[in-house]
A and B are shown apart, each in its own frame.
Chain A
Amino acid sequence: AQRVTQPEKLLSVFKGAPVELKCNYSYSGSPELFWYVQYSRQRLQLLLRHISRESIKGFTADLNKGETSFHLKKPFAQEEDSAMYYCALSGSARQLTFGSGTQLTVLP
């Protein structure tokens, strides 16, 4: 079975502060990990995936197989980063399993 855990339901940081949204997964094979984001009144959309190894809107995420983690990081948070963030895992069946989400609020 595959499982994704996001331990923080709510996270608040001040503008300009670093932010890290935690994601841990459980999967016996080689997973593909994603971060999806949902801004207020917008649809859920892909933020980044681990295989692309790119930085999107200043966010990065590194897959750590030893710790089975895929934490999302940004060195300097902006107010427009306030949103709901979902970590997701795709296993061999290519079906996405989502975590419960973390609501990030960036305070001015």
Chain B
Amino acid sequence: ETGVTQTPRHLVMGMTNKKSLKCEQHLGHNAMYWYKQSAKKPLELMFVYNFKEQTENNSVPSRFSPECPNSSHLFLHLHTLQPEDSALYLCASSQITGELFFGEGSRLTVL
């Protein structure tokens, strides 16, 4: 598998559930990102990790909790979400100053 891979591709969860989104990159990049893509809004940057260290938290609610155990893996832990959190969550990776490579996204529906 090459590039940026996200799992699961689709997730339906209730507001009381706990789930996680996973992202893996095989490009040797040092930076990884979570973006949120909603139907009527621009792509919103959520979190940035450079060399496994979080360098950006774009005022994201605490019900979203990122984890970056190494430079190749990025998780987004979800708990007690709201229906308005339903969106496409995109993972991306890059060298520090380079082009972003995106995954195909995880489509989240919160009931």
Contact = CB atoms under 8 A, between A and B. Distances in A.
Nearest to A45: B102
A25 interface: no
Chain A, interface size category, equals 10 to 19
A96 B45 contact: yes
B103 interface: yes
A44 B37 CA distance: 11
Interface in A20-37: 34, 36
Given A46-B99, A46-B100, A101 B90 contact: no
Given A49-B99, A94-B96, A96-B100, A43 B105 contact: yes
Contact of B102 (A4, A44, A95): A44
Contacts of A36: 100
B100 A98 contact: no
Interface of A: 4, 34, 36, 43-46, 49, 86, 93-101
Interface of B: 4, 41-43, 45, 48, 56, 90, 96-97, 99-105
**Which 5 pairs show the lowest CB-CB distances between chains A and B?**
A98-B43, A100-B42, A44-B102, A46-B99, A43-B104
